Amino acid sequence: MLEIRNLHASVGGKEILRGIDLTVNAGEVHAVMGPNGSGKSTLAHVLAGRETYVVTAGEVVYEGKDLLAMSPEDRAREGIFLAFQYPVEIPGVSTTYFLKAGVNAIRKHRGLEELDAIEFLAMVKEKMKLVEMDQALINRPLNEGFSGGEKKRNEIFQMGVLDPKLAILDETDSGLDIDALKIVANGVNAFRSPARAMLVITHYQRLLNYIIPDFVHVIFDGRIVKSGGKALALELEEKGYDWLKPEADLAQHTIA
Amino acid sequence: MSNQSKTIEALANQEYKYGFVTDIETDSAPRGLNEDIIRLISSKKNEPPFMLEWRLKAYRHWVKMEKSEGEPKWANVKYPPIDYQNIIYYSAPKQKADGPKSLDEVDPKLLETFEKLGISLSEQKRLSGIAVDAVFDSVSVATTFKEKLSELGIIFCAFSEAVENHPELVQKYLGSVVPYTDNFFATLNSAVFTDGSFCYIPKGVRCPMELSTYFRINQADTGQFERTLIIADEGSYVSYLEGCTAPMRDTNQLHAAVVELIALDNAQIKYSTIQNWYPGDKEGKGGIYNFVTKRGKCLGKNSKISWTQVETGSAITWKYPSCILQGENSIGEFYSVALTNNYQQADTGTKMIHLGKNTRSTIISKGISAGHGQNTYRGLVKMQKGATGARNYSQCDSLLLGDKCGAHTFPYLEVNNSTSQVEHEASTSKIGEDQLFYCKQRGISAEDAVNMIVNGFCKTVLRELPMEFAVEAQKLLGVSLEGSVG
Ligand SMILES: Nc1ncnc2c1ncn2[C@@H]1O[C@H](COP(=O)(O)OP(=O)(O)O)[C@@H](O)[C@H]1O
Ligand SMILES: [Mg+2]
């Protein structure tokens, strides 16, 4: 589904991603871990097409297409979803209104009939169960005055409604208490399917107790320095990230 | 949003769509302004002597004003000098001597013009909830639902008709809110105004439909000087809406209107405007100078006047719909969206003059600037000695699209009663790259995203509009922002 080769990207003139290689197949859940500032969010934004991040080398193939040549809205319409680490507020626009615009733009792109208000609301009702969303919340202006947990839950709710093929969750667990974490994890698990893939970015392994990944990758200084199965996450919990540092330095040396 | 977003998209891809000209024979006065022109206008309208005298007093005052300080200079707008002797002050489509008696007698070309503007004057085709007075250049060409309204004692007609049929009401209230000496443009209007709407709601009557006036400038080099007078008698209610368009021309045209509202005890007037005069082209050539004086007087206790405006058109807008809160417990409201794109300039706001006890006012102003647009909010809140316990709340927000436009806020405050309370909030924001990216990540195009964010920004104002006009206003904002994305 997704193939990232030797991806380099910079932001504000500073190189952040320094050669990422990663293959994700349909049905797989990949966890991406790493210390703060290692480039996890940068990777997520580059995949979603944020213009402030500049790709300087490498390529990304998504379902046989050159992902980097696509506009952000087309990537979304082709099934890429990003759950933001810091969801954005849009005053005066309700989540429902916002999502209806998104759903219908995506449907139009795929040659489907747009949903009318009644069909849309029926669909939304169904998806609200996914993360126990509250009707009052989604009628309020998007993310305005939401608690941290409500914002994250809203992201997963949006994922359910937009029905992506590749979901990238950027630290969806941060700022959640344990109950909220379980709700979000349940929503994500219910969403897993052989047709979908997920990239779960997290700083802590805590989330991975609830969302069991097929693969775990560790990013350090803009490179994947170690990949493994779910056991790697536990090892990281135990030892922290520092023991990987020499390997990172080593990797740098071998290339240089 | 399906249908709505489709419409916005379709509209966003077209230019000002009301820019056509109707080819119709007119009866026009020669260019220029002097006492003879004023006598001509007055006689064309068969006015009683009191009207002519009032016009002449206004004219003589205006001549003095022009010789001394001239046009108001304090507004944050720039334009070349206006040659008042090069304007045609009276232009009317030719029609039978005493005007059409019914729609069948109205020139089909005029009906067609309004049809093209989406204003059907045929009552069968009209949405039953709205009565329309259609003003074309200097005259009212038709008013719908007049009979139905008159069964309730409501008078809704062309201003000139009111002068003829209800001179006592006109004489009593004309100039009682905006005196002919008020300001340069209001004084000019008082001298030369040609038509407009008149509306009287009798005691205890709740007007069952929206009343509206649709203004159309057609003729080149004319000025449009209409005058609207609305009187809501004790315990009555009326919701009134005005809309306007003009052909695309590369010269500027002057529109200097006056609106006076009077609310007696327990009466309510809700006045909504969707202002879509031709704004000029992308380079700032042409467009209407919209220099308008609008003021309401809450004369009676517990009365309420509410102004809602969506200003998207005109090359320059200079207007401050205001409330004089004289009656105890009276309420004044001002809800405004002003959008300037390309080279448009707007200097708009309100004055809330609190005279009576426990009077309250609310000001919500949303300014949107795009392109090279300049947008100024100018507002005065005045608490007079007698305004014990009076309160005001003001909120002025500006939204900038791009970095060549400007937003300015000038809130003035005069407090002469220590028991009154005034609260003011202001903000300026830009549409953030993060907001746009968030929308795009959900599949929404940049253009739809901007429309959505702008509509969200204006929501507290748009929701004050009558339902179907709110939809109209949203579409208009989309069209007016065309080309501002990217
Ligand atoms: N707009 C920016 N300008 C300059 N540096 C940035 C910008 N955004 C992120 N960075 C830097 O890029 C690095 C990686 O950030 P990020 O991808 O957000 O890390 P992570 O998500 O792994 O915590 C950090 O050092 C961060 O400070
Ligand atoms: Mg991050």
DSSP symbols for B161-204: HHHHH-HHHHHHHTTSSS-TTS-HHHHHHHHH--B-EEEEE-TT
A71 touches chain B (CB under 8 A): yes
Residue B1 reports pLDDT greater than 60: no
Q: Which two tokens stand for residue A53?
A: 């991040």
pLDDT digits (tens, 9 = 90+) for B331-352: 999 999 998 888 888 889 999 9
Which residue has the least CA distance to atom 18 on ligand 1?
A: A41
Ligand located closest to A45 CA: 1
Asked if A101's CB is within 8 angstroms of B452's CB, the reply is: yes
Residues facing residue B318 across a β-bridge: B291, B347
User: Do the Cβ atoms of B316 and B344 come closer than 8 Å?
Assistant: yes
Residue A250 has pLDDT above 70, yes or no: no
Instruction: Report the share of chain B in percent with pLDDT over 90.
Output: 46
CA-nearest of B107, B86, B105, B109 to B21 is B109
pLDDT at position B5, please? 34
* DSSP characters over B251-300: SEEEE--EEEEEE-TT-EEEEEEEE------TTS-SEEEEEEEEEEEE-S
* Helix, strand, coil % in chain A, rounded to nearest 5: 45, 30, 30
- Report for A166-175, B25-34, B139-148: range of highest mean pLDDT: A166-175
Residue contact A162–B443, C-beta within 8 A: yes
Kind plus residue range of the DSSP H or E element containing B349:
strand B345-354
**Ligand 1: which of A33, A42, A82, A203 to mutate, most ligand atoms within 8 Å of CB?**
A42
Interface of A with B in 176-235 (CB under 8 A): none
H/E element holding A58?
strand A53-62
Tell me which ligand sits closest to the C-alpha of residue A38: 1
Model confidence pLDDT, tens digit, residues B164-181: 999 999 999 999 999 999
Predicted confidence (pLDDT) at residue B96 exceeds the cutoff of 70:
no
pLDDT at B287: 84
DSSP tag of B86? G
Strands (E) in B312-344, as ranges, are 316-319, 322-325, 331-340
A151 vs B: CB within 8 A: no
Q: Tell me what pLDDT residue A254 has.
A: 46
Digit-coded pLDDT (tens) for B237-279: 999 988 876 666 667 788 899 999 999 999 999 999 888 878 8
Q: Note the ipTM here.
A: 0.94
Chain-centre distance of CA A160, in angstroms?
13
When CB atoms are compared, the residue of A49, A51, A76 closest to B442 is A76
The residue whose CA is least distant from atom 20 of ligand 1 is A37
Q: For residue B323, give the 3-state DSSP assignment.
A: strand
The answer to whether B453 contacts A49, with C-beta atoms less than 8 Å apart, is: no
Between B431 and A43, the higher pLDDT residue: A43
A67 in contact with B at a CB cutoff of 8 Å? Answer: no
pLDDT, average across residues B193-202: 91
Confidence band, pLDDT 50/70/90 cuts, at residue B3 = very low
- How many helices (DSSP H) and strands (DSSP E) are in chain B? 12, 23
- Dist CA B224 CA B18 (whole Å): 17
User: DSSP state, B81?
Assistant: P
b/e B283-306 (16+ beta carbons within 10 angstroms → b)? ebebbbbbbbbbbbbbbbbbbbbb
DSSP string, A119-145: HHHHHHHHHHGGGT--HHHHHSEETTT
What mean pLDDT value characterizes chain B? 85
Give the pLDDT mean for B288-302: 94
Q: Is A158 near chain B, with CB under 8 Å?
A: yes
A contact test, residue of B337, B428, B438 with most A CBs within 10 A: B438
Per-residue pLDDT, B216: 72
- The pLDDT confidence band at residue B6, using thresholds 50, 70 and 90, is very low
Residues framing ligand 1 (Cβ under 6 A):
A 11-12, 14, 16, 34, 36-42
Residue B10's pLDDT is 39
Give the percent of chain A with pLDDT over 70: 96
**Closest approach atom of ligand 1 to CA A13:** 4
Pocket test for ligand 1, best of A10, A14, A43, A217 (most atoms within 8 A of CB): A14
CA angle B318–B322–B323, rounded 5-degree value: 175
pLDDT the model gives residue B425:
93
Q: For residue A104, which of A136, A77, A84, A131 has the smallest C-alpha distance? A: A77
**Overall average pLDDT of the B20-49 stretch:** 83
In whole angstroms, give the CA distance from residue B447 to residue B453.
10
Q: What element of type H or E holds B460?
A: helix B459-462
Nearest residue by C-alpha to atom 26 in ligand 1: A37
Q: What is the pLDDT of residues B387-417, one digit of tens each?
A: 999 999 999 999 998 888 889 999 999 999 9
pLDDT of residue B14: 44
Most confident of B198-202, B467-471, B476-480: B198-202
pLDDT at position A14: 93
| pLDDT given at position B38 | 93
Residues A71, A74: Cα–Cα separation, whole Å: 5
Residue B367 vs residue B215, higher pLDDT: B367
What angle do helix axes B2-12 and B446-457 make, rounded to 10 degrees? Answer: 110
Task: Compute the average pLDDT of residues B415-439.
Answer: 93
Measured between alpha carbons, how far is B61 from B65 in angstroms, rounded to an integer? Answer: 6
CB of A31 within 8 Å of any CB in chain B? no
Residue from B2, B448, B455 to probe the interface with A (highest A Cβ count within 10 Å): B2
> What pLDDT digit, counting tens, does each position of A87-134 carry?
999 999 999 999 999 999 999 999 999 998 899 999 999 899 888 888
User: Does the pLDDT value for residue B130 go beyond 90?
Assistant: no
Query: How far is C-alpha A53 from the chain's CA centre?
Result: 16
The predicted pLDDT at position B434 comes to: 93
Residue B117: band (very low, low, confident or very high) from pLDDT cuts 50, 70, 90: low
Q: Is the pLDDT of residue B291 over 60?
A: yes
Query: What's the mean pLDDT in B309-336?
Result: 93
Whether the predicted pLDDT of B221 surpasses 80? no
Distance CA A82, CA A72 (A): 11
Range from A41-45, A50-54, B18-22, B289-293 carrying the lowest mean pLDDT: B18-22
Q: Give per-residue pLDDT as tens, A202-248.
A: 988 888 889 999 999 999 999 999 899 988 888 888 888 877 775 55
Span from the CA of A47 to the centroid of ligand 1 (angstroms): 15
Chain-chain contact of B2 with A88 (C-beta, under 8 angstroms): no
Higher pLDDT, A11 or B103: A11
